[in-house]
Every structure is written in C-alpha cells, then in structure tokens.
Amino acid sequence: MDLPIIYHPDYVTPLPPEHRFPMEKFSRLRDLLVADGVVNESQFYAPEVPPREWIEWVHERQYVQAYCEGTLEPKALRRIGLPWSPALVHRTWTAVGGTILTARLALECGLACNTAGGTHHAFPGYGSGFCIFNDLAIAARVVQKLGLAKQILIVDLDVHQGDGTAYIFQDDPSVFTFSMHCEVNFPGTKQRSDVDVPLPEGMGDEAYLQTLAAYLPDLLAQVQPDLVFYDAGVDTHEGDRLGKLALSDRGLFCREMQVLSTCVSLGYPVACVIGGGYAHDFDALIYRHSLLHRAASEVYRQGQISLPT
C-alpha cells in the first residue's frame, strides 16, 4: 500500500469568493503533488462528514449548533476571522472528517498525511484565529473512543501556540501536548501545554532544528504514544507574513524529515496535518505545504515504517 493522502476537493460545495482564499490551497496542493510525481491518484482518500456526536465529544453543543445554523454573535464570528456561510460549514465539518480519516489510516499504515487540518486555536465553546472546530482534538478523542488508541502525542510545530488544543487536554493525561512556537506571536495569552518551547523572533534553520532534536526523542520515550498527531505549519518560514521566525524551504523539509523519521523508525504511527501558512506568494505557500508530503513519501518509500506488534 502506498502512503495514504487525504484530499479535500474544493468542489464538494461551491464556495463564495471571500472564502476561496485560503480554502483553494487544499486542491492546489493536491494538484502540485500529482504534477510533481510525489503521489499518484490511487493514494488519495476523500473524507466523509463525521457524526455530530463526534464533534460534541470536544465542543459544546450550543456552540456547534449556533455555528452550524449561522446564529453566532458577530463578536464570535470576528474572533474566528471568517465570514459565515453554509458552504464553509460543510467545508469545516468535512475537514474534521479528513483528520479523523488521517488518524485511522496512520494507525493502519504507520503514516498518513492530510492536505488540510491543524485548526488548533478552536476552544470547546468558541472558535479563534481562523479555526472553528479543533480537528486535532476531535480526531484524538475519536480514535480513543473507538478503542483504536489510548495514549496520544500532539506535536505542534505551527509558529503559533496550539492554545485551543492545550486548553482542551490540560487535565487529560491520555493526550500529551507539545507546542514549539514563536514567543512573541498570536495568541497574546498563551495556554499551558504539557511542554511549551517558546522561540525567539528570527530563529533560523540550524538553531530551530537543534532545539527540536533536543526535545522530540525524549518526548517519544516519555509518552510512548499509540499515535502521534503532527501539525506541520509552514508559517515558521522566513517569508510568512504572520510568522516572525526565519526557516528556509530547506529548513522546513529538514524539519519534516526529522519529525517523521524519528517517529516512524521507532514504531510510532504519525497522522500529519498541514497547519498554518500565510505567505503573499500563493505558489510559494503551496510548495511549502507540499514539503510535508514530499518528506512523508520519502520516509514511506525508504521502508522505515515499523509498527509495534
């Protein structure tokens, strides 16, 4: 079996113009991966819309209902940062299904990648920072509830702290949250992850990769997760307009290889999501997101997958 890739087609429901950016990056990412021969059509899996009950294992019922019906107060919508529409509701719901499917395929195959996901700023009762439902938290809870995994490790390398995820699991020892992020960046008020690594503004490739190497192997040995969720935000790039760190394309690819090789060679399945990215150059942004899938394909082809028996 080839590396599984979860694909989110834009044509599931037509989106109004104000939602096409950044939503269309998901299909553009898929097109680039195929055009460059990184993956083939047989590797793509389309997600299904998950049951509402699964969403409500993490999010408050009143919030889920208000968002889906379009009755959130204007202040709550401003906090999310995206104008409401029925199409975006469907897209949001399906994106959660994509991360759930990514997790299930990772447990089956050792490694799977989403072409979306990473909405780590969503809290149980409200959305924030372009995040409506927390796909990482929901997927973690689903695989636990279905008896597919017990201990979860979330490795969040988006440039912004995974504050919603940290808050959701703050009193839950079965989900370990690790966030390595720029200290002087959104959110202004940080939550407490199990391990937070705040980075100074302007940190480049070498220092970043050395810092990651100082934490990741020990985390795996300590947590011994049944499943790792990896949020591979590319807003750590030097060209990102919301980032404040200074990774290059090469640095991003080395980061992805470092995370994936370390995890899967030790027998820890990894479910990957693309996280944030906010470059003015849209083509450059799509390429940076593709680095995750390029690294995953290389690791998968090298035969480093070694699932525990």
Question: Domain holding 66: CATH number?
Answer: 3.40.800.20
Share of the chain above pLDDT 70, in %: 93
Please name the residue that has the structure tokens 């991003």: 252
Q: Are the C-beta atoms of 176 and 226 separated by less than 8 Å?
A: no
Residue 125, domain extent:
5-149+226-301
Does residue 205 lie in a domain region? no
User: Which pLDDT tens digit goes with each residue over 248-263?
Assistant: 999 999 999 999 999 9
293 is catalytic: no
- In a domain, residue 182? The reply is no
Domain presence at residue 288: yes
Contact 140, 102 (CB under 8 A): no
230 part of a folded domain: yes
Single-letter residue type at 227: L
Q: Which amino acid is at 301?
A: R
154 in a domain, yes or no? no
| C-beta separation of 280 from 21 below 8 A | no
Contact 62, 46 (CB under 8 A): no
- What Å distances lie between residue 235 and 160, 252, 276, CA to CA? 8, 10, 6
* Angle, in degrees to the nearest 10, between helices 86-109 and 61-69: 130
Cβ-Cβ contacts under 8 Å for 41 (sequence gap 6 or more): 34
Q: Provide the number of structural domains found in the chain.
A: 1
Residue 260 lies in a domain: yes
Low-confidence ranges of the chain (pLDDT < 50): 11-21, 306-309
Write down the pLDDT at residue 2. 82
Question: Which of 120, 121, 160, 289 is flagged as catalytic?
Answer: 121
Q: What is the pLDDT of residue 62?
A: 98
